[in-house]
Amino acid sequence: MSEFTSESSAPSAASAPTGQPNRLPTGGRIDRSVTLRATVDGVELTGHPGDTVASALIANGRLEVAPSIYRRRPRGIVAAGVEEPNALLQLAGGRPGDSAEPMLPATVVELFDGLSAETLSGVGRLDPGTDEARHDKKFVHTDVLVVGAGPAGLAAALAASAGGARVLLVDEQPELGGQLLAERNPALADWVAGAAAELAARPEVRVLRRSTAFSVAANYVLVAERRTDHLGAAAPAEVSRQRLWHVRAKRIVLAAGAHERPMVFADNDRPGIMLAGAVRTYLNRYGVLPGRRAVLLTTNDSAYDTALDLRAAGAEVAALVDTRPEPPAELVERVGAAGIEVIAGAVVTGTGARDGAGRIGRVRLDNGRELGCDLLASSGGWNPVVHLFSQARGTLRWEDERAAFVPAAQLDALRVVGAANGTADLAACLAEGADAGVEAAAGSGYPGARPELPAVPVRHPAPDRPVWLVPGEGEPGGWRDHFVDLQRDATVADVWRATGAGMRSVEHIKRYTTIGTGQDQGRTSGVVANGVIAAALGLASPGELGTTTFRAPYTPVSFALMAGRNRGELHDPVRTTAVHPWHVAAGAEFENVGQWKRPWYYPRDGEDLHAAVLRECRAARTGVGMMDATTLGKIDIRGRDAGEFLNRIYTNAFAKLKVGSARYGVMCKADGMVFDDGVTIRLAEDHFYLTTTTGNAAAVLDWLEEWSQTEWPELDVTFTSVTEQWVTIAVVGPQSRAVVSAVAPELACSAEEFPFMTVRDAVLSNGVPARIARVSFSGELAYEINVASWHGLSTWETVFAAGQPYGITPYGTETMHVLRAEKGFPIVGQDTDGTVTPEDLGMSWIVSTRKDFVGRRSLARPDTVRTDRKHLVGLLPVDPGALLPEGVQLVAEGVPITPEVGPVPMLGHVTSSYHSAALERTFALALIKNGRHRIGETVLAPLGDRTIAATVTEPVFYDKEGARRDG
Amino acid sequence: MLLISCPWCGPREETEFHYGGQAHVAYPANPLELDDATWAEYLFVRDNTKGPYAERWVHSAGCRRWFNVVRDTVTSEILAVYRTGEQRPVTA
């Protein structure tokens, strides 16, 4: 049960006259003991708990809302539910910090004390402020989900829950009952109350009111529950505003009801033209009188009840116009007894205004009669609410007798019942619901039982006689006041223009005319448009056209609800290393690498990125630098066949790698394109420690698992991610040996005793055991110190202290990128893009020809053996101070770059570009077609306002001989 | 969103899994002996079935195990779940 009801809102006590001229003296499901005050369009009004904004407006004598979107025609309230096309609100936030909500139908917004809103002309405004309201998510499993708590849904929920099945009943209204809330028969109200009490008493039943099931896919349903929207300022601060329920149900019963259709005739959009069923709801549920003298217009039986209820409420009924030449005699007799004239076989052809505000004043019939009125209550038939059924892939068929699309066949685990199934008679709706509930319980493994149903007479509704288009004057192409979609101001003339342009499909015509694309998604206009299109195309039935596709959400859902708590710092996890607090204290600027926060550079007083990076690079090349390399992916690999496995994954050989040694490796996907690279250490015969690029750690682990599990299950090898378990500190530069010697006093650090690409275990001066590798991503003498993450910060501090005599300089990712680029080391994902082979990178030396590996066969495909593929090469801008923007396209010299002579052939693009302290100039890496055969050529980077010329070079700019790595 | 029964962990939300494409497409025993067309067939060509389709999934956010699923590509109904290396079961 939803815990928060309008009864708990803080009312202003009042027993004084309400000042509501159209409030009926008695009746309605409102609490007259409490008066609520609200402001709509700057005018104050009063109402009662149980009112919507729309019913309160009507009670206060205001049917008119903002004018229409394009034509600025006067418009009024049409409906009493989510199908309302005209009365849309911009609703101010109910409590401080709540955003204003645009485009809410006044017919569903519950009145609360202090409510402030304005009516909209079809367009709302997003609140530019930050929405402070909280939204939550729930995930639940249930045996039976019942959508809709009208007669069929209540019967289904009672039947399904009778034997202990878990049942979830959701309904968009604040109280249960659906269409029964609009009935005058007290026995029905009693049954609803009894059903609600019974359901509340059953422990396995949960009822969600103010909750809309808006999306269905198989057995998975999303429900938006509005918890505090109706409470205004009285909403408890600790309760989230709305909740998104993710529901898994074994069985689903859809009892979503039906929406009434308007009719299309000249000037059918005036205030005072309403749906007949809505008029009945306003009379009986809200106790308000929308008009004093009504004309009814109908194609079916349902409007006769409205006529009788209007009379009972004291309104005059000028006539009931029925399109059927021979309406059921029993109905004619019943309304006749109430003094209501039935005009059979007739239709309204047009309307006239009563006053300057445009409110309806009279109607004209096709038999020439004119009738004065201030209300035209029309029923053009009923559309079953098949949205969720269709989302669940249920198919529809056209039912002539009801003139509507109805479910063609039930689905296995989802039943449609009641008015949603095209059933018009109340007794039949109740019975269908009860049967479906019993069946749903059985389908989920529980007994069900038919509940006691209210005694209502069985009626057999006579067939509809739809009139889709009432002719006006002249040709249909000129009928610009015959409205099809009130919210989009689309008319019969628009439909004719679309069909005249050759369109035949409702999907095309919908997009061309915009019919059905408003906030209401064509709830009142969709099938009406079908009827008009069928008339335009000369089709026998609107059913021949089919429907447009029903997509989620059924009614609008806010992004804030979708996001829930996953906003701000909870939007995405943030990963930091154990050394992070030190980086923050040192004033580092950070960059996001995947979810990691990595130090980008460490500016000193007044330094910008450029100055800081030049200083950091100089330190690493001439003294010593240190970098937090913890974010590299790390995978611990164990098993008898671990070496053989890596041999099959990497392009180069790993099976014979010596224990205690490290090797750089490249792995490809099966298509031969470079996927990842990194250094792998052999710790024991059956134990490896593999590193990946920072952004690819999870993907590489998945890749290894995939081959291990699906292709080579016979190999004994397992994988464990240890990225979080190790902190890695790179100590880089000519003075790094001195620093590492000081940090690891027991370790022999000479080039002979601790050669390049080997690994040593050592105990550091702070007592922490470490694994130290001699690897280099800069070309300089360098060490990577790995310690357990617990000791990461203290070890970083120890290294930093030990480096002080040498001026050790912490550096970030930008300096790392410059140092590696000076050496021509590519970064996978920056200098490659999934279309680059090892050969393209100039790394054929790493590709074994003596073994198979994943991707090898692809390196012999006709496309990969071409010698003019894009190659990774270096670029030196002719102007040594000019920096090429990364990503910029490159063209050959002499190529015209004008719109007239196009397209411009592109040679490739810049992948990395930096200022180099060591080179004292700018440089770049680029992927260029046939690049290795263009060394020495000039290419151009057109930048719009200027062009940078650059010379193609080898990709290694610094220490080509590799003389520096041993210090 | 699908509810997928991992053969090791039981029914879990689709968001815990990654999709792995068509099942039962074995890595060729001797790729280097294949001609270009046959290798390209392995690399690039997969069935595009309307109806029951055997496909691979991996329980990435759970046990990290790969397994096979027969799913109807029209309705997304999961007709069978079975372990890697097992035969595709007969489904209706």
User: Tell me, what's the pLDDT at A94?
Assistant: 82
Q: What is the pLDDT of residues A608-628, one digit of tens each?
A: 999 999 999 999 999 999 999
Q: How far is A790 from chain B (nearest CA, A)?
A: 25
- Rounded (10°) CA dihedral A269, A270, A271, A274: -50
- Please count the residue pairs, one from chain A and one from chain B, whose beta carbons lie less than 8 angstroms apart: 54
Residues of B in contact with A706 (CB under 8 A): 20, 58, 66
User: Tell me, what's the pLDDT at A1?
Assistant: 36
User: Tell me, what's the pLDDT at A568?
Assistant: 87
pTM of the model: 0.90
| Residue A639 pLDDT greater than 70, yes or no | yes
- Asked if B36's CB is within 8 angstroms of A220's CB, the reply is no
A427 touches B: beta carbon within 8 Å: no
Identity of the residue in B32, B34, B66 whose CB atom sits nearest the CB atom of A706: B66
Q: What is the pLDDT of residues A73-130, one digit of tens each?
A: 999 999 999 999 999 999 998 887 788 999 999 999 999 999 999 999 999 999 998 8
Q: How far is B77 from chain A (nearest CA, A)?
A: 8
Q: What is the pLDDT of residues A473-522, one digit of tens each?
A: 999 999 999 999 999 999 999 999 999 999 999 999 999 999 999 999 99
Closest residue in A to B85 (Cα) is: A710
Q: What is the pLDDT of residues A59-82, one digit of tens each?
A: 999 999 999 999 999 999 999 999
User: How large is the greatest C-alpha to C-alpha distance in chain B, in angstroms?
Assistant: 42
pLDDT above 70 covers a percentage of chain A that reads: 98
User: Tell me, what's the pLDDT at A7?
Assistant: 36
Q: How far is B38 from chain A (nearest CA, A)?
A: 11
Residues of A in contact with B56 (CB under 8 A): 710
Residues A254 and A148 sit within 8 Å (Cβ to Cβ)? yes
- Asked if A856's CB is within 8 angstroms of B84's CB, the reply is no
Interface predicted TM-score (ipTM): 0.97
| Residue A684 pLDDT greater than 80, yes or no | yes
**What SS3 state is found at A416?**
strand
A865 touches B: beta carbon within 8 Å: no
Q: How far is A224 from chain B (nearest CA, A)?
A: 16
Comparing A131-135, A184-188, B78-82, the range with the smallest average pLDDT is A131-135
Identity of the residue in A670, A705, A710 whose CB atom sits nearest the CB atom of B64: A705
Q: How far apart are CA B25 and CA A560, in angstroms?
A: 43
Q: For residue A694, what is the DSSP state?
A: G
User: Tell me, what's the pLDDT at A355?
Assistant: 81
Dig out the tokens for A588 from the structure: 């580092």
B81 touches A: beta carbon within 8 Å: no
Q: How far apart are CA A601 and CA A590, in angstroms?
A: 7
Residues of B in contact with A711 (CB under 8 A): 26-27
- Burial (0-12, 13-18, 19+ Cβ within 10 Å), A511: middle
A66-88 burial code (b ≥16 CB/10 A, e <16): bbbbeeebbbbbbbbbbbbbbbb
Residue with tokens 């790493």: A846
Q: How far apart are CA A270 and CA A352, in angstroms?
A: 9
User: Tell me, what's the pLDDT at A900?
Assistant: 87
| Residue A271 pLDDT greater than 70, yes or no | yes
Identity of the residue in A246, A671, A711 whose CB atom sits nearest the CB atom of B43: A671
Identity of the residue in B18, B32, B66 whose CB atom sits nearest the CB atom of A710: B66
- Strand-pairing partners, residue A321, are A297, A343
**Radius of gyration of chain A measured on its C-alpha atoms:** 38
The continuous run of DSSP H or E covering A191 comes out as: helix A186-201
Compute the mean pLDDT over every residue in chain A, rounded to the nearest whole number: 95
B82 touches A: beta carbon within 8 Å: no
Q: What is the pLDDT of residues A3-33, one digit of tens each?
A: 333 333 333 333 334 589 999 999 999 999 9
Average pLDDT in the A564-588 region? 95
Residues A356 and A345 sit within 8 Å (Cβ to Cβ)? no
DSSP states along A629-649: -TTSEEEEEESTTHHHHHHHH
Q: Which of A709, A717, A847, A848 should be substituted to probe chain B, the one whose Cβ sees the most B Cβ atoms within 10 Å?
A: A709
| Residue A841 pLDDT greater than 60, yes or no | yes
- Asked if B84's CB is within 8 angstroms of A709's CB, the reply is yes
Q: What is the pLDDT of residues A868-899, one digit of tens each?
A: 999 999 999 999 999 999 999 999 999 988 88
Q: How far is A390 from chain B (nearest CA, A)?
A: 12
> Which of B 13-72 lie inside 8 A of A, CB atoms?
13, 18, 20, 26-27, 31-32, 34, 36, 39-40, 42-43, 56, 58, 60, 64-66
The continuous run of DSSP H or E covering A926 comes out as: strand A921-929
Comparing A565-579, A672-686, A813-827, the range with the smallest average pLDDT is A565-579
Dig out the tokens for A392 from the structure: 């669940």
Closest residue in B to A710 (Cα) is: B84
A863 touches B: beta carbon within 8 Å: no
Other Cβ atoms closer than 10 A to A520: 26
Q: How far apart are CA B18 and CA A725, in angstroms?
A: 25
User: Tell me, what's the pLDDT at A18?
Assistant: 57
- Asked if B56's CB is within 8 angstroms of A710's CB, the reply is yes
Comparing A13-22, A537-546, A873-882, A932-941, the range with the smallest average pLDDT is A13-22
User: Tell me, what's the pLDDT at A773?
Assistant: 98
Residue with tokens 């604040």: A174
Identity of the residue in A248, A711, A857 whose CB atom sits nearest the CB atom of B39: A857
Identity of the residue in B1, B43, B75 whose CB atom sits nearest the CB atom of A393: B75
B92 touches A: beta carbon within 8 Å: no
- Asked if A852's CB is within 8 angstroms of B32's CB, the reply is yes
Q: Of A799, A964, A933, nearest to A866 (Cα)?
A: A933
Dig out the tokens for A548 from the structure: 């447009």
Dig out the tokens for A934 from the structure: 């263009």
Identity of the residue in B3, B18, B31 whose CB atom sits nearest the CB atom of A857: B31
Average pLDDT in the A846-855 region? 95
Q: Of A65, A60, A456, A85, nearest to A282 (Cα)?
A: A60
- Rounded (10°) CA dihedral A858, A862, A865, A868: -130
Residues of A in contact with B20 (CB under 8 A): 706
The set of residues, in sequence order, having a beta carbon less than 8 Å from that of A861 and lying 6+ positions away, is: A672, B36, B39, B40
Identity of the residue in A217, A713, A861 whose CB atom sits nearest the CB atom of B1: A217
| Residue A531 pLDDT greater than 70, yes or no | yes
